[in-house]
Amino acid sequence: MSQLSCIVLTHPQVAQYLEANLGTEYSASEHWTSSLRGRSGYGPYRQRSNECCTFTLANQKGSFSKLLAQLGYNYAASWMGYITYHIQVIASERELHSTFTLHPHLVKKVSNECVNSFTYEARV
């Protein structure tokens, strides 16, 4: 299976998970900020300058922070203010907790986006 087909299969699964767990705070047509969403029946997405990843969530009601805390990432419980989460979905053929390498262009995206922000390492 090619890497592209893995990515195409993975994005809809994450979209469904977010929809099931975030309720009205998540809308695929708004928060799925990847050009690949068109393959799942959503209209084309024109990336905005502040969006860099597969999904971009504004945590206005704290739902995503609460979800992270419920999944065991306790730091997230204190992030109930207005936070924008950028979630990058990357397919891997390895085990869930295996190490992985990010392509340099993704590291550059993150560093450009987070210049004036705190950075947290999160394993979900």
Q: Which of 55, 71, 58, 85 is nearest to 21 (CA)?
A: 71
pLDDT at 51: 57
Alpha carbons 53 and 106: distance in angstroms, whole number:
9
Instruction: Return the domain boundaries, the chain.
Output: 3-113
33-82, pLDDT tens digit by residue? Answer: 887 788 888 887 776 655 568 888 887 788 899 999 998 888 888 887 77
pLDDT at 120: 41
Neighbours of 10 (CB within 10 A): 16
pTM attached to this predicted model: 0.69
